Structure 1
């Protein structure tokens, strides 16, 4: 995955020290029964589109931008559906990070999915009843986006809240 320039500049100053970053997961729905999924080039896993918010960028705009950059799909952000902290992680090069992930529900507007920027090997629509094997956290993000609850899900004191 391409590392944003602002993170490369930070890494020049702090080395591999932990960074707190804000990311987005963009769950793009087409109609009532399809979701956009991409197959990551780095792990081979299928996921909704994910990415890092640029400094000063509005989170919903970041979700829309990432979808267009990674899949060629034009979509509109409808609402924030989940906010959660991911576990700390360390990349192969030693860089340590932890993400605040903001999950957005997006509605497809136009375009046919394709791996547009090299971060993914495939991009396609899946019927919601025929999803590929997914990590539980991705299943939960899709479920949050499909929910008709107007409130975003979050965790408080280690306990998930609707």
Structure 2
């Protein structure tokens, strides 16, 4: 899916100025494997993620993103991590500050496939197979592995 309409409307008003957005990352487990996809825009391997729509519950956004990007249904089990991603400046100059809410999820049904064009490949992989996953995503997965640990927060010193 392309940039959400509400973001485009905001960009019409603020140009490329920093825009704070809430994002979600879904760490989806099926047995002992985790869902990972290759992004169409930059080729990186990572968990499913996306932007929370206005008025949408973040856990619902995680479920929606899994359905839209990977064609699967998931259940959100718990919040694993809350953190601010360092400012991203896109090629067109747009600046975004994402507050990322990382959820541990469990696969419910469906066979993963690139459903909306954001991913070119997606599937469940053993943790040892994830050699091409960036360290920040490995950290998210590590924090989501435990089924009942409390969420991790950065800062708050």
Q: Could you tell me how far apart the structure 1 residues matched to 2:102 and 2:93 are?
A: 27
TM-score by length of 1: 0.93
The answer as to whether partners of 1:83 and 1:101 remain within 8 angstroms in 2 is yes
The 3-state SS of whatever aligns with 2:154 is strand
TM-score by length of 2: 0.96
Give 1:129 deviation, angstroms.
2.1
The 3-state SS of whatever aligns with 2:129 is coil
Moved over 6 A (4+): none
User: Which 5+ residue runs of structure 2 have no aligned equivalent?
Assistant: none
Q: Could you tell me how far apart the structure 2 residues matched to 1:71 and 1:79 are?
A: 20
Q: Specify the alignment match of 1:57 in structure 2.
A: 56
Superposition pairs of residues 1-162 of structure 1, within 5 angstroms: 2-31=2-31, 33-157=32-156
Q: Note the alpha carbon deviations across 1:4-57, whole angstroms, 9 max, x for none.
A: 0000000001110100000000000001x1001110001101100010000000
Give 1:127 deviation, angstroms.
1.0
User: Which 5+ residue runs of structure 1 have no aligned equivalent?
Assistant: none
The 3-state SS of whatever aligns with 1:37 is strand
What is the RMSD of the two structures over their aligned residues, measured on CA atoms?
1.2
Give 1:148 deviation, angstroms.
4.3
Q: How many residues align?
A: 157
